[in-house]
Structure 1
Amino acid sequence: MSETAVTASTTFRERLYVTPWIWPLPLLAAGLLAAEVHMGFPGVRSWLPYLILLPLTAVLIWKMGSAKVEVSGGELRAGDARIPLDLLGDVEIIAPEDRRKAMGPHLDPAAYVVHRGWVKPLVRVRVNDPEDPTPYWMISTRRPEALVAAIKS
């Protein structure tokens, strides 16, 4: 599911894949929706919903897991954003039981968030750039200790 130490300059890499136990429910819902349309129309329109809805659902689930977290080349990359490591401050692991508070009432609206609900641990990385209005990054990761070690090294 994740790779580490890919090259000499890459110290951490992880893709936030959707876990397999999440896939069946959306695919079942798409299949039921296609069956509803199938029952109402004869001919080509009866099988066309299966041909469109099931692959479309699979692609959407796959795209939800396309977020990458990486520390390489002196930068932290999370999702589509990147920041040099020398602009980062304190790094804190947020335990799964504290996730609700950290992502709810304690979350700063200006924070940059790469969160996936199926990945429980979070890492909060403070931003020390005076020109950046973002106070911190909140990143989901399955291996928070390895991410913290990569950022601090």
Structure 2
Amino acid sequence: MSDTHTTARSVRYRERLWVPWWWWLPGLGLAALIALEINQGVPALPLWLPYALLLPVAAVALLWLGRMEVSVVDPGTGNAELWVGRAHLPASVITRSATVPKSAKSAALGRQLDPAAYVVHRAWVGPLVLLVLDDPDDPTPYWLVSARHPDRVLAALNS
């Protein structure tokens, strides 16, 4: 399946919001511990079966958590678009943009958060990108998107 926003020549910036590598250690360790418990509780099962089932489930769960991709593409019109998963936002409707540092993240996602805002938050990614919109056809006031390198996202949108 090929999407027009993912062609190599039109991508200005792309990052996948993977879980940190160290999450794999406790994730697989927990799966192995549960498999050991199953082995001890159900001695009729083959010893390898719980491991063969639970370790791949843990790996798939960790991969699923890191499936979100943030990219900035040029669709050929010269006007950049931000893609966050399947949602996209043309740069022409963005009036202001800013980086929300990790230290201000809880305030941005807390009581100050507008319920109509579009939010893609990943707890393991520190900073956020704030994009204030001016689109009369869209009631969304702004987008808040997790990004490991928000300065690169904003530079790609503005270039």
CA distance in 2, matches of 1:18, 1:89: 31
The residue type equivalent to 1:105 in the other structure is R
Pairing of 1:2-151 with structure 2 (within 5 A): 7-44=8-45, 46-72=47-73, 73=75, 74-151=80-157
Identity of aligned residues (%): 43
- Alpha carbons of 1:7 and 1:46: their partners in 2 closer, same or farther (altered >3 Å)? closer
CA distance in 1, matches of 2:150, 2:108: 15
- The alpha carbon displacement at 1:95 in A equals 1.1
Note if contact 2:39-2:45 (Cα within 8 Å) is conserved in structure 1: no
The residue type equivalent to 1:64 in the other structure is L
Q: How many residues align?
A: 148
Give unpaired runs (5+ residues) of structure 1: 1-5
Note if contact 1:123-1:139 (Cα within 8 Å) is conserved in structure 2: yes
CA distance in 1, matches of 2:110, 2:24: 26
Note if contact 1:39-1:46 (Cα within 8 Å) is conserved in structure 2: no
Q: What residue is the counterpart of 1:3 in the other structure?
A: none
CA distance in 2, matches of 1:89, 1:44: 61
- C-alpha RMSD of matched pairs (Å): 1.6
Note if contact 1:95-1:121 (Cα within 8 Å) is conserved in structure 2: yes
- The alpha carbon displacement at 1:139 in A equals 0.9
- TM-score, normalised with respect to structure 1: 0.88
Give unpaired runs (5+ residues) of structure 2: 1-6
